[in-house]
Amino acid sequence: MSTYVRHSQIRAAHRVISMQWRAHYIQRRSIRQAAIESDSDSNVLSVGIAVKDNIAATGWTTTCASNILAGNRTPFEATIVKQLRQRGAGITGKAGMDEFGMGTHSTTSAFEHIHNVRGLEKYSAGGSSGGSAVAVREGEAGLALGTDTGGSVRMPAAYTGIVGFKPSYGMLSRWGVVPYANSLDTVGLLAQTVRPIGTAIVGRGLYLEHDHNDPTSLPASVRQRCTAQRRGYESWNPAKNGAIQGLTFGVPIEYNIEELDPRVRQGWLMAAEKIEELGGRVVPVSLPSTKNALSAYYVIAPAEAASNLSKYDGIRYGQQNTKQSSDSFEGILYAKTRETGFGNEVKRRILLGSYTLSSEAMDNYFIQAQKVRRLVKRDFDRVFKLSNPLEDEQPFNLSEMEDTVQLENKWGPPQVDFLLCPTAPTTPPLLEDVMKQTPLDSYMNDVFTVPASLAGLPAISIPMDLPVDHTKEEERLLSFGGLQLIGQYWDDARLLSVADVLSPHVLQQKLL
């Protein structure tokens, strides 16, 4: 396939011969034909799916875009891949990514940089699931699997003009997914529209599937209890469950940051106006702990990554460095293997995580970050109308509320059904500029996606129109942005239905 969908042989990271391409074309064509023939069969999900290269799939290598796993073939298949195969889906290819999911622009791969879609090749495709997003936008797959740790599905969706969905933590199995940060990692789905995702999650019952192999997968009894408190799971019917009329959408005032691109801000306001035209209500809300969420994330995620990646030593897991007579360096076993096997960004996060877990730093960094995480989750629970089925309900402390937020009544500010905000603070940056960015500059792009990940909430990015000055070529090219909707825990079905109904109203142009 092309540069953003990797063939199962490692050397095909750079090119695939025409015969192999024709074979994949025939496979995709048969999938499309099957979709036509089985359209009336509600139990079949006949679609071609691209699988991110950190998710195990039979017949394909799983390298996590890292030299240390070059040529690795996992002897089992990820549960989510198996579930989609059972529902009639077929694998069209493995998608490129940032190494071990660590990156914002899909530029940290050991094999290739991911470029945006045709016509936007010089711009970032977002990360770390950039390959999955481009595969969907280019028509290589009808549905793609990615992983979302702090926005790695939603960010590429925003940069490529498609839909990216991160479900509630614990809904989809992570078994067979190479972990980055266990308490944050979530399997996500990308598609051209919301419908294929809603069909898979709700219509084909993926939300019901408990996996005993995955300790973070919600047990069946808890799933039933959570589902009983929610609407929209009885069937995939957006027309019935996604009406905007009567819903309240919250606009977090803390998200109106100085770094927000004026065009993205204007697109956000235009989307809010569309919601009001459709009968919804838009109100300001306060999430006071948001300002600390990004810092907490970049303490917790690298700490968990340092632990997860400790096993890649060339002895238990990974390719051993055989180019030198000894794998040790200054008496440290397997140092050369890890030095040559990991890229710079991965090594940076291992060092950061190892430090924050050290005895001298744990109390000041890791423990404090976990406390911030609890505050972030508490902020979300307070602003939603629905209670979190996994948490006790907590009242809003009015002393912590911003002065700009109006009170609904004596109990506090208005509560909302969903939160509305941009997915990314800017349009896709030029790859040339990305390569000049400092790590901190790259991390800042996750400022709107990280809070929902810390709280384990469902979130979806849908494309929205941006205002365009037609005298400026870049604005004509980048005429779209990402609009993010965040829901309460396990309100995934209603979130998907609302996103499906809202999508054609906030994106009225046809993306090429």
Active-site residues: which are they?
Answer: 52, 128, 152
CA-closest candidate to residue 46, choices 33, 37, 35: 35
Q: What is the DSSP letter of 271?
A: H
Sheet holding 418-422, edge to edge: 5-6, 90-95, 48-52, 143-148, 186-191, 163-166, 459-465, 480-487, 418-422, 248-252, 281-285
Report the residue count for the chain. Answer: 512
* Angle value at C-alpha 507, between 501 and 509, nearest 5 degrees: 135
Q: Which amino acid is at 92?
A: T
**Cα separation of 493 and 495, whole Å?**
5
Q: What is the DSSP letter of 201?
A: I
Q: Is 152 helix (H, G, I), strand (E, B) or coil?
A: coil
Q: Is 498 helix (H, G, I), strand (E, B) or coil?
A: helix
**Cα separation of 55 and 176, whole Å?**
6
Q: End-to-end CA distance of the chain: give it in Å, rounded.
A: 21
Angle at which helices 262-277 and 492-506 cross, to 10°: 100
Neighbours of 149 (CB within 10 A): 28
**Cα separation of 147 and 102, whole Å?**
11
**Cα separation of 390 and 169, whole Å?**
11
Q: Is the dihedral of CA 188, 192, 194, 196 positive or negative?
A: negative
Which residue intervals of 38-88 are DSSP H helices?
79-86
**Cα separation of 267 and 311, whole Å?**
45
